[in-house]
Chain A
Amino acid sequence: MALLKIKNLHANVAGKEILKGISLTINAGEMHAIMGPNGTGKSTLSNVIAGRDGYEVTSGEVLLDDNNLLAMSADERARAGVFLAFQYPVEIPGVSTSNFLKTALNAKRRAAGLPEIDAMEFLKLVKAKTKALGIPDDIIKRQLNVGFSGGEKKRAEVLQMTLLEPRIAILDETDSGLDIDALKVVADGVNNLRSADRGFLVITHYQRLLNYIVPDHVHVMSGGRIVASGGKELALTLEAEGYAKYQAA
């Protein structure tokens, strides 16, 4: 079952073409990894899927469950089930992590025609999730991402993902700046979320993360295009040989 379908996607940033015809299909239950050198458009792809301002799609299609994502605003896409774990999670001073999470969860519940979750119920839910993820639960009282270490920020992203239960989760360089312990917590969280009706797109520069989150498919991106695709072994080849041969192409 095709969950996310990207067809010949072209996109510009500040008038310059960055994505030059990306096609990719992610089926429900699959984990895809996109690898590639810096500056090849990996993050642009995740921002275009999520609907960030400043990214202009010039042609192509992006469908989620056969619905046209490109016609939706960023918040509509999120409520439809697109989740982006940020490379640099943003600080929001004065807003507790729990208040942020509750507001987000309720926005999603409202869109699904569900009643809003009350404070007590929410607290119970979020405590269960932090426990399952092995994240200290005092994180929810702290201001969102303010003064968080790199590891805490990424763990908070996984906590958000766990609560919001997306259809398709995109992890944008989630491994950057993580020590091995933090990387394991993040990977465990992601692995626990793997299910038959959910898809993942993991964007990474390094093979390391893929030792813990094992992809079904690996794609190499270079110059705004997917230049090679394969199974998980492709990641190991890349680790050994580098990106040079794709960059030359």
Chain B
Amino acid sequence: MAAISQTTAAVRDVEQYKYGFVTDIETERAPKGLNESIIRFISAKKDEPEWMLEWRLKAYRYWLTLGDQEPTWAKVTYPRIDYQDSYYYAAPKQQAKYESLDEVDPKLIETYNKLGIPLKEQQMLAGVAVDAVFDSISVATTYKKKLQELGVIFSPISEAVKTHPELVKKYLGSVVPYSDNFFATLNSAVFTDGSFVYIPKGLRCPMELSTYFRINEKNTGQFERTLIIADEGSYVSYLEGCTAPQRDENQLHAAVVELVALDDAEIKYSTVQNWYPGDENGKGGIYNFVTKRAACRGRNSKVMWTQVETGSSITWKYPSCILQGENSSGEFYSVAITNNRQQADTGTKMIHIGRNTKSRIVSKGISAGRSSNTYRGLVRVQGKADGARNYTQCDSLLIGDRCSANTVPYIESRNPTAQTEHEATTSKISEEQLFYCLQRGMTQEEAVSLIVNGFCKEVLQTLPMEFAVEAQKLVAISLEGSVG
């Protein structure tokens, strides 16, 4: 039908990435390449204690033994990455410490304003504290004082290493060990900044915590590390957002996120990923190779991942839950949109170890243009996980006829009392649906946005209120140009 062919035709024409600008700011960088002295340089820049440097070096030495053995099982293709042709540390030149936000370089404040993330507390969304990470360092954390009074620690991880070494030592690498996988090992060696969160016993954190990642420098990898610990009976909702300038070369983003939920604790982790996706021919864009994992260690603990993935030229990401505690539960809600030449291989792993553990997976993949979108998920029920339950639902929506959607579910059950359910659908935006909307006066873009948002609704409604509206708009923007 003509509407669909118009749709496909237009996918190729337009690239609408409004965060593609570059901030002109003086930067301090480590020399190009990766070796022990670069790692020592990063550690020294961060003024780290010896044990942290040792941990990094251990990871680096292990990484060397891996050779070039990047994981190859994902359904993505890209040219070999030259790890020596990249910078591993870049930071805006500035005074070492800010006493208040007024001292932050106005250019940085302006950058975040342009991104829609005001750092001045009086302008902020009520009830959201933000940590802003620019290239390799955290430039500002808002509402710090107020959170401190409650006993919440919300700070750049580079700071937490010094101020709360006992917590960092105890939990860093306890969910994603330095030897976990190629990219996580690399991250362990060279991670530069990221957020650290600790919620004390029994506290329901009254505001959303949020980190905003921005890659600005050319040829620079971003390797952030986030660690969130929810102590017994606590609750926190955390949101992560990210963008990068529009550049012709690919940039590597290899983050690690570790979550730990103790008895009766709950963590809600939401991501709106909008890294630069590359142009319509697949030139440029971020390689988003990320390891995210939660340990539900305590009884009745709960972790909920929600991700809206619209950016990056390649996404390789499987936010997972290790359900150790009895009666713990993990949920994964995902919207992954690929357009033009984007490739996404994303999903989750739910590892049921404890008794009566529950997991729920809802994945919505939308492919347009010539993109490839794969859901890959593992549900594993171990021998002692009596009464474990999983429900998985994977829906794919295709726009046009040159994209692909794949669903690769792995289910392994070693306990006969476990119940797992898997449902999958693949559909197209039909000519009937489009015409119906047009006949009511909507433009093609409004129509596609409405239909796609309807398709994703179950996932989008799990986002914190403040961001759900933003996410809906983002869904529309990332499909802009996929209609005529």
- Residues on A close to B: CB < 8 A? 50-54, 73-75, 78-79, 82-84, 86, 89-90, 92-95, 99-100, 103-104, 107-108, 111, 143, 160, 164
Contacts and interface: CB of A to CB of B under 8 A. Distances in A.
A17 B302 CA distance: 63
Contacts of A99: 450
B439 interface: yes
B454 A95 contact: yes
Contacts of B455: 93-94
Given A53-B1, A54-B1, A107-B443, A75 B438 contact: yes
B35 interface: no
A75 B444 contact: yes
Given A92-B451, A99-B450, A103-B450, A111 B441 contact: yes
Contacts of B435: 52-53, 74
Contact of B441 (A52, A54, A107, A143): A107
B454 A103 contact: no
Given A53-B2, A53-B3, A74-B435, A94 B440 contact: no
Contacts of B457: 94-95
Contacts of B444: 75
29 contacts: A52-B439, A53-B431, A53-B435, A73-B438, A74-B435, A74-B438, A75-B441, A75-B442, A75-B443, A75-B444, A78-B441, A82-B439, A89-B436, A90-B430, A92-B450, A93-B454, A94-B454, A94-B455, A94-B458, A95-B451, A95-B454, A103-B446, A103-B450, A104-B441, A107-B440, A107-B443, A111-B441, A160-B440, A164-B440
Nearest to A111: B441
B117 to A, nearest CB: 26
A75 B430 CA distance: 16
B443 A92 contact: no
Nearest to A99: B450
Nearest to A84: B439
A95 B439 CA distance: 16
Given A86-B439, A107-B440, 13 more contacts: A52-B439, A53-B2, A54-B1, A73-B438, A75-B438, A75-B444, A84-B439, A90-B433, A93-B454, A94-B456, A104-B441, A107-B441, A108-B441
B446 A107 contact: yes
A108 B440 CA distance: 8
B450 A95 contact: yes
A13 to B, nearest CB: 12
A109 to B, nearest CB: 9
Nearest to A86: B436
B439 A92 contact: no
A54 B431 CA distance: 10
Interface string B445-481: 0110011011111100000000000000000000000
Contacts of A100: 437, 440, 450
Contacts of B458: 94
A92 B454 contact: yes
Task: Report the 9 A-B pairs with minimum CB-CB distance, sorted nearest first.
Answer: A94-B454, A95-B454, A104-B440, A94-B457, A78-B441, A53-B2, A90-B436, A74-B438, A107-B441
Contacts of A103: 442, 446, 450
A75 B439 CA distance: 6
A51 B441 CA distance: 12
A116 to B, nearest CB: 12
Task: Determine which residue in B437, B439, B443, B457 has the highest number of CB atoms from chain A within 10 A of its CB, and name it.
Answer: B439
B436 A78 contact: no
Contacts of A94: 453-458
A92 B440 contact: no
A53 B450 CA distance: 20
B154 to A, nearest CB: 34
A108 B439 CA distance: 11
A92 B436 contact: yes
Task: Determine which residue in B436, B441, B453 has the highest number of CB atoms from chain A within 10 A of its CB, and name it.
Answer: B441
Nearest to A163: B440
B432 interface: yes
Given A95-B454, A99-B450, A90 B432 contact: yes
B321 to A, nearest CB: 26
Contact of B440 (A52, A78, A111, A143): A78
A153 B170 CA distance: 60
A164 B442 CA distance: 12
B357 to A, nearest CB: 29
Contacts of A143: 454
Given A53-B1, A54-B2, A90-B433, A95 B441 contact: no
